[in-house]
Structure 1
Amino acid sequence: MERVVEVRLPTAHGVFLAVGYLDRRNGIEQVALVHGEVAGQAALTRVHSECLTGDAFASTHCECGGQLSAALEAIVAEGSGILVYLQGHEGRGIGLLAKLRAMKLQEDGLDTVDANLALGLPVDAREYGAAAGILQDLGVRSVRLLSNNPRKREALTRHGVTVTEQVPLLMPPGTENIRYLRTKRERLDHDLPHLEGIPGLS
């Protein structure tokens, strides 16, 4: 990972340092938002997969936009932390148009896993080497990972990132995403205990 630029980035959640990177392996541009001093041990960290529909358009099909905002708020409240925003992760790595096609299949009754498979695509094609490289460049030796996904923790660990704690990032479910979230829990191993016993969503 080549560090290309650093610039102060004021946001609705607080002021961050936006650190731009170029992944020399594939030419993908990446960014980390850094708040406070993060070098050393146990930095509060969110590794966020890009989601245009959720992050930019506030889609309620998923919880991505809410998680993005909540992670930035948690980092500022902590006083320091990092959000690594990973491009190339749209639709768990299958790309925007394929994700939209998969969403169409979900409207027709398939869940998010079977929709990808029906398109002949991987269930999850994301790769975390870029995130590990960014964290290493920032001097982060271990992280407290804001995530409900133990597979993400395992992937970062394989890339040499020590995860000292997995910090839940639970969003209130709604009628539009409850089936999607339950599929993530039941078929993708996400830790989502808050889905049990929700009135009107069973």
Structure 2
Amino acid sequence: MIYVLIVLLVCIGAFFYGRRRQRENGRPVLVKHETIQPMRIKPWEEQAEDDAGDGQSFGACPGTVLIVDDQPLIRMMLRELLEQDGVTVFEAPDGASAIEAVRKHCVDYVLLDLKLPDMSGIEALKGMRRINDSVSAALMTGFGSPEQLAEAELLGVKTYFMKPFDLQNVKKHVMNSLKKVKYKEGEVS
């Protein structure tokens, strides 16, 4: 199963590399948009209200995202996907690097793997929250115990993505979250 996932990730990476080369050479690129909703920790509560928004479109809303995952291919794919829309992306391969990135940079949103080499994603999020208590986050995980997800919910995490996840789905969620952050800060009219 892990080999299939690795092959799939390599194929997706090659696909994005090919798209980037096409764009650099001025060739048209076809993009398929999907409307799958991300999985939620609390799907039965007020999530529908959060996702519905106020119906306004704020246009392009670049922000800053930190991707924390020990798999470089996942970080690279998410980085390329988000940078296409003008988002500034920082990467961290472990929890300590993630905490340091939040200390050094103004981060609007964190995509955080639950299992990191040096600490759990929950511990890393606690460290980040000591520096910036308002940073929003979503978890990425191949597995997660109900206890971990409940602890993440107490830290304000409302969304998680099960690996392997749909990249367009993650991008859509992050872009919507960045619009909400910028709207709350009064930066988007």
Instruction: Determine if the TM-score, normalized by the shorter chain, exceeds 0.5.
Output: no
If asked which structure has higher relative contact order (CA below 8 Å, sep 6+), I would say 2
- Which has more strand, going by share of residues? 1
- Which has more helix, going by share of residues? 2
